[in-house]
Structure 1
């Protein structure tokens, strides 16, 4: 069913290191306390484990415990839920964003840009396909953390309504996160959401959140820098009016990715 508004909950949370069961328990309690009408719940990158380069210890299959847990929660809340997990397939590992619909169906996106500074490219397979998710009459474009630095990959050639990033983006580079989220919104005339974690990870990197929502003009609609659930309500018709008024996307360059 198509609807004009999309109500979002951003779960900005501390993550236990390489402890999927513990993180699912913590997140179950946080999600259970969401008492607003919500269409989409967003979780950080690698929310069951933190941003680990030891995938063998935490990897799951697509019919594993975490996906089952996501489907159960989505059905209970009547909302889609999305975040990335470590997936093993045919002996290879993927940093995979899973988008679970309330009816249990799912879409997934494998991270395109592996974070070479941390050696992610040495242990995870990079994704090859940009996807668009159809949900309640909205076109959603999911991406993961380091993808944010590469505007060509996010370019709005599909007419999507919402571009969202799930991340483990550390405090030391948080200035880039803030600027790039706003830039992606402005250049793509789209709502943009970034969902980040907080707290120290197993490698000693601190995370300060800065989860945020921006509209098509780069105006910040919500922002947080502590452990909390953030909320935003997006309007498709409002975004379309901005596009029709300014028509910036009509002047975009055409290109082919190779």
Structure 2
């Protein structure tokens, strides 16, 4: 499977301007034979706390409709960020669209980034999400990467886990280290897609969209063009590796759960 990662530099809080650049990357990915293209968190707006202005209806999102049109036009699977409103709440979301334009899943970010005050503007999701791409793919967003329990859960049924992010350059070493750790400890392909450029809050982003294999090795892109990299994924290799080195069969989930549920060991 050929997967395109775009370290997209969105135009701050301007969906229309960002969409024009977005379309160019989708076309380029398709022309280069990619089966799937992945963009960073809050793709067309940047990581903005202006949620009231930027949110779209969950069941009638103009942005998602544009994603669907492009997926169908270029016959490519598409994973990207969007801000959605549902039931009085606003969520930081990741939508997965098939090459036929079907909305396969919408993931609401489970862990808002409290360090930046994200939880004041976005509600926390409560459901894990995965899609039935080859090998199974789990979906996560940015700050989720710091919570390994989420990845252990997703790795049960998935050989690939995606994280779309707006991860600042000053913590780029954390970005790379955590992606690699999640790949090794869960024996999965770990795909990290991070934005580039400078946002409206003067935060700098290194891009650094990368993939680690189940063994923890950094994959080399087969094609590099501007802020886009295309990789070949041998998803079957994950099962082969898991059988040769069956780490998961030694997990003691019963003990972990008992300890975490003890008073004082888990945040209430």
Per the normalisation by structure 2, the TM-score is 0.89
CA RMSD of aligned residues (A): 1.9
Larger Rg over CA atoms: 2
SS in 1 for 2:136: strand
8 Å CA contact retained: 1:198, 1:227: no
8 Å CA contact retained: 2:42, 2:80: yes
Gaps of 5+ in 2: 262-268
Aligned residue for 1:3?
Answer: none
Q: Matches of 1:9 and 1:44 in 2, distance apart?
A: 12
Aligned residue for 1:161?
Answer: 159
Residue 169 of structure 2 is aligned with which of 168, 171, 180?
171
> Structure 1 or 2: larger helix share?
2
Residue 102 of structure 1 is aligned with which of 83, 94, 99?
99
Aligned residue for 2:138?
Answer: 141
TM-superposed CA distance for 1:226, in Å, is 9.7
Moved over 6 A (4+): 223-226
Q: Matches of 1:95 and 1:114 in 2, distance apart?
A: 8
Residue 186 of structure 2 is aligned with which of 188, 197, 201?
188
Aligned residue for 2:229?
Answer: 230
1:27 partnered with 2:26? no
8 Å CA contact retained: 2:135, 2:236: no
Aligned residue for 1:112?
Answer: 110
Distance 1:38 1:225, change over 3 A: closer
The higher relative CO (CA closer than 8 Å, separation ≥ 6) is in 1
Q: Matches of 1:210 and 1:69 in 2, distance apart?
A: 26
8 Å CA contact retained: 1:211, 1:225: no
TM-superposed CA distance for 1:12, in Å, is 1.1
Aligned residue for 1:47?
Answer: 43
Aligned residue for 2:264?
Answer: none
* Segment drifting more, 181-190 vs 8-17: 8-17
Gaps of 5+ in 1: 1-5
